[in-house]
Amino acid sequence: METTEENIEELYRTLKRNLNLMRELDDQIDDQLIKFIKNTSVFIKDKENRSFEDMQNFISKNTQILHKIDLESQEKLNLSMQSYETTDQSINFLEEQIARAETSIKLGEISPSTPLSHLTMKQLLTPKEIAARKISHSAEIPIDPNEPTYCYCKEVSYGEMVACDDDNCEIEWFHIECVNLKAPPKGSWYCKDCLARRKHR
């Protein structure tokens, strides 16, 4: 059964991971905006000599950039919502534990000096409630069916992840264990598909 300490530790891990991912997404969005501004500036500077084909290429490139910014912004929103929901669940869990502990203290079932973090849900539930409900705990974060999937495994984001540095990578984000890494690389990193494609250029 989950304790208060375990609940808070899980919340900390979830928020830390999501905030790190959101910071990385911010950096990626900034990079895309720089590309957008640069493309626009270069095109406008010599627009009088541009052909119709040049204009089509310019529009196509900037449309792709804006689409990528939109996707990354949506990922940030999803991570933000997931963080909010996980925090809300943790607050509800803690409030429930406090309320049940207060009831148990009044009934003399536990000592007022017992640390709340040492109490399990089983200790806080009455025998009738234990029989009426089956509490299961998973260390995994509740999965939102609308949350985007990543990596070769097509799973949602969890744990440490690494981004492919190829701008045209179809997957972009990978779980480090799925790509046989022990830790995120310090320099540039390319997935096996993009690496193979770059070698054949």
> Using CA atoms, how far apart are residues 47 and 42, in angstroms rounded to an integer?
8
Residue 129's pLDDT is 40
Phi, psi of 190 (to 5 degrees): -125, 140
Mean pLDDT by 10 residues, the chain (201 residues): 77 90 93 93 86 90 94 92 90 83 66 51 42 38 65 85 87 91 84 88 68
One-letter amino acid of 51: S
Find out whether 107 and 127 touch, Cβ atoms under 8 Å.
Answer: no
* Burial (CB count <10 Å: 0-12, 13-18, 19+), residue 81: middle
Q: Break the chain into its structural domains and give their ranges.
A: 4-136, 149-201
Please name the residues in contact with 139: beta carbons below 8 A apart, sequence gap of 6 or more: 10
Is 67 assigned a ligand-binding role in the annotation? no
Q: What pLDDT score does 191 carry?
A: 93
Per-residue confidence (pLDDT) for residue 125, from 0 to 100: 44
- The superfamily CATH assigns to domain 149-201 is Zinc/RING finger domain, C3HC4 (zinc finger) (3.30.40.10)
This prediction has a pTM of 0.49
Helix (H) or strand (E) segment spanning residue 161: strand 161-163
CA distance 153 to 165: 19
The DSSP element (H or E) to which 7 belongs, if any, is helix 4-45
Please count the other Cβ atoms lying within 10 Å of the Cβ belonging to residue 73.
Answer: 13
Q: Is 137 annotated as belonging to a binding site?
A: no
Q: What are phi and psi of 162, to 5 degrees?
A: -130, 140
What distance in Å separates the CA atoms of residue 104 and residue 77, rounded to the nearest whole number? 41
